[in-house]
A and B are shown apart, each in its own frame.
Chain A
Amino acid sequence: MIAILGKEIKGYLTSMVGYVFIAFLLMVSGIYFTAYHLKGAYPKFAYTLNAVLVVFLIAVPILTMRILAEERKQKTDQLLLTAPVSVTEIVVGKYLALACIFLIVVLVLALYPLILSQFGSIPYGETYAALFGFWLMGCSFLAIGLYISSITESQVIAAVLTFLALFVCYLMEGIAGFFPETSSASFLFLAVLVAVLSFLIQYWTKNKAISGIFLIACEAVLIVLYMVNATAFEGVIQDIFGVFDISGHFSEFASGIFDVTGVVYYLSIIGVFLFLTVESIQKRRWS
């Protein structure tokens, strides 16, 4: 794991990619920093972080697109997968390298509030809580990027898919707003969702009995629940979409709250996507 971590960090820092990522994020945050804080004399650094968020959509794919896709394309994954290391070690090593490169950006950003403190009093606790949330959020995006890089051989496809995935996450709040919050709409939405899931189960397992039982059981439970307490269904659509609203969870941090649910949420996102990455590599070996 250490060997892979070291190799990846070195790889990023001896090629353009790492520097482009770092420079891009720092340049944009520098512009906002100058505009909001140095010119506008606004004391809350989280404001800048919130503005920089959109840059992730482009910066993350730059960093993650090659990390696994390239290995597969050049067949160097044969070296990694036949070495006495587990797939989990490989994936975690690579992921930590991404997180470390991003940490460089965060560490530089951590200097900005100190600069501001020269001109007035800064709420350090709130500011650094926001920066911590910012790092976690970035790490979640990187985990998604890592996963997408593992499912394709092409860097370009990996970059485009990562951009799309992050873009959809970024717009999630708006997308959720399209749907009505009424309980009947939520019920319908869930019913369709269950149908889609059972279709996917049928596709994966090729077993009509399992998918059929799943479909009937879930729909029955839904109907019973709806009969018993229809009001509980209100806003369920928004809740479901909220799960994918990665940048939305940052708003609590940005407003200066050390949001424990947010930390758990980001760690879960990271965990789930690392798990999916390991599984997607394993799956390919078995197919």
Chain B
Amino acid sequence: MIEVKSLTKQYGNTKAVDNLSFTVEQGQIYGFLGPNGAGKSTTMNILTGYIAPSMGEVLINGHNILDEPEAARKCIGYLPEIPPVYPEMTVEEYLSFAAGLKKISKKEQEEMIYNVMEMTNITSMKKRLIRNLSKGYRQRTGLAQALLGYPEIIILDEPMVGLDPKQIIEIRELIRGLGKKHTVILSSHILSEISAICDHIMIISHGNLVASDTPDNLVHLMKGSEALELTVEAKETDIRRVLDGVQRIDSCEVKPSDEEEACDVILKTTGGTDLRRKLFYLFAEQKMPVLRMQQTRISLEDVFLELTDNPVAAAGQKAETDKKKRGLFARKGEKEE
């Protein structure tokens, strides 16, 4: 378990990480999502003890990363953004050095190195110099290094970068598998990657945690409702009359459509209620043909963009959005207080 309390890292006048607090629970896959320069790598570097925070503290399984660095780091396997491999070593030599560094006993080393090479699919490369490996294989060698010793917590900084689509699927499967036994934290600025594997997403922007929830909740709760789009062949007033009788509609927008004598309707429903069937019969009874009906989901992309875009404006509206987010991500909100 990782506890991060009001973490701040300041480089000169710029705050790379600003008062970040969160808790990472056992046995889940967490995704750090944020645009470039959001402070993802800095946060990860602090979590692993590579750099020290300016303020705040990090507890890894109860061990403070600064006071008991060795005990804390023993629980962590880390793959940094640039895989920390030595080009002049072979894959096998490198892994055996890393195993020695992690103080894994000689007896266990051989089997463990074999296992992690199998897991990351680099066994065929074990005698090759890392210098001669492609980016993808280097990445996987670095990943194998992070897995050595089977640490409880595995932190991966942009693990998919430089992999081809097939490898991405393989690594994704591997990380999913890891998530069953280990706690995995991975970062990415690519949304689809994160939403595909993570149980929990933390969106970081300008060093702040702007949201933290499961991918589904993020989508559902961001707007609190889903939109339903219809094209109905009828007059605007008639349509409004029909809709007035329907409950659980938050807002409705009716405007003339491109199609002749028809109107476009955009409905927002409360709590994601599905009104499609009801509306179909209602309009049918009134002899108003429904030409088109489509349910639109707010994509994670929209959530991401909304949360990370325009930080200045966001800061201005902070009170308002905070209230909103607190409501949405109530669990998180309480912790932040």
Contact = CB atoms under 8 A, between A and B. Distances in A.
Contacts of A2: 100
A86 B84 CA distance: 18
Interface string B76-116: 10101010111110000100011011110000000000000
Contacts of B97: 3, 6-7
A76 B101 contact: no
Size band of the interface chain A makes with B: 20 to 34
Given A84-B74, A86-B70, A15 B88 contact: yes
B101 A3 contact: yes
Contacts of B51: 285-286
A85 B101 CA distance: 7
29 contacts: A2-B100, A7-B97, A11-B86, A11-B88, A14-B88, A15-B88, A74-B84, A74-B86, A75-B80, A76-B86, A78-B78, A78-B84, A79-B80, A79-B101, A81-B49, A81-B50, A82-B49, A82-B50, A82-B78, A83-B102, A84-B69, A84-B74, A84-B103, A85-B101, A86-B70, A285-B50, A285-B51, A285-B52, A286-B51
Contacts of B102: 83-84
A71 to B, nearest CB: 9
B100 A6 contact: yes
B73 interface: yes
Interface residues of B, number: 28
Given A83-B73, A84-B71, 12 more contacts: A10-B93, A76-B85, A78-B82, A79-B84, A79-B101, A81-B49, A83-B98, A84-B70, A84-B102, A85-B103, A86-B69, A285-B52
A4 interface: yes
B48 interface: yes
A78 B80 contact: yes
Contacts of A82: 48-50, 73, 76, 78, 80
Contacts of A272: none
Contacts of A77: 84
B73 A84 contact: yes
A286 B52 contact: yes
B82 A75 contact: yes
A75 B52 contact: no
B145 interface: yes
Interface of B: 45, 48-52, 69-71, 73-74, 76, 78, 80, 82, 84-88, 93, 97-98, 100-103, 145
B61 to A, nearest CB: 13
A11 B129 CA distance: 13
Interface centre among A14, A15, A79, A285 (most CB of B within 10 A): A79
A85 B86 contact: no
A240 interface: no
Contacts of A3: 97, 100-101
Nearest to A80: B101
A76 B79 CA distance: 11
Top 3 A-B residue pairs of the complex, sorted by shortest distance between their CB atoms: A3-B100, A79-B84, A82-B48
A2 to B, nearest CB: 7
Nearest to A4: B101
Interface centre among A74, A75, A84 (most CB of B within 10 A): A84
A284 to B, nearest CB: 8
Contacts of A4: 101
A257 to B, nearest CB: 42
Contacts of B70: 84-86
A86 B48 CA distance: 13
Interface in A45-104: 74-86
A15 B40 CA distance: 37
Contacts of A6: 97, 100
Nearest to A76: B84
Contacts of A285: 50-52
Nearest to B77: A82
A54 to B, nearest CB: 31
Contacts of A80: 101
